[in-house]
Amino acid sequence: MKLGILINEGPYQHQASDSAYLFCKAALEKGHEIFRVFFYHDGVNNASRLTEPPQDDRNVVLRWSKLAETHHLDLVVCVAAALRRGIKDENLAPGFRISGLGQLVEAGIQADRLVTFGD
């Protein structure tokens, strides 16, 4: 089944990104396809390659990048939400791309299910 994911909260502040990541991993292990992960509102902060968490903590941003690389995920960051928060192409973590809300609408249409993680 094709699944779309919407993440509305940033890393380390709220559990949304952690929950979504573990959900995606479980879905991929079960053979489902992640059609797209869309980062909106404060969720765009998950895409900053400038984050440097302590070494003994989980690296939320890197974790998404690695999952995207392994499973060819489409990690899309909302452009308006990103520019408001200083997320630009030059500080975007690997595997993420900046695009518009149309990508969320398309995920809602193309995916069989859309699951929202937020606050």
Site string for another protein, 13-32 (x = CB under 8 A): --xx--x--xx-xxx-xx-x
In the complex, least distance from residue 27 CB atom to another protein, rounded to whole angstroms: 5
Q: Find the part of the chain contacting another protein (CB under 8 A) among 55-63, 73-81, 88-96, 111-119.
A: 111-119
Smallest Cα–Cα separation from 46: which of 61, 36, 57? Answer: 61
The pair of structure tokens assigned to 3 is 């699944």
**CB atoms closer than 10 angstroms to residue 11:** 25
In the complex, the smallest distance separating the C-beta of residue 117 from another protein, rounded to whole angstroms, is 7
84 binds another protein (CB under 8 A): no
Choose between 101 and 115: whose C-beta lies nearer to another protein: 115
DSSP per residue over 15-72, as a string?
SHHHHHHHHHHHHHHTT-EEEEEEE-GGGGGGGBTT----TTS--HHHHHHHHHHHHT
Q: Residue numbers of the site for another protein (CB under 8 A)?
A: 1, 3, 8, 15-16, 19, 22-23, 25-27, 29-30, 32, 112-119
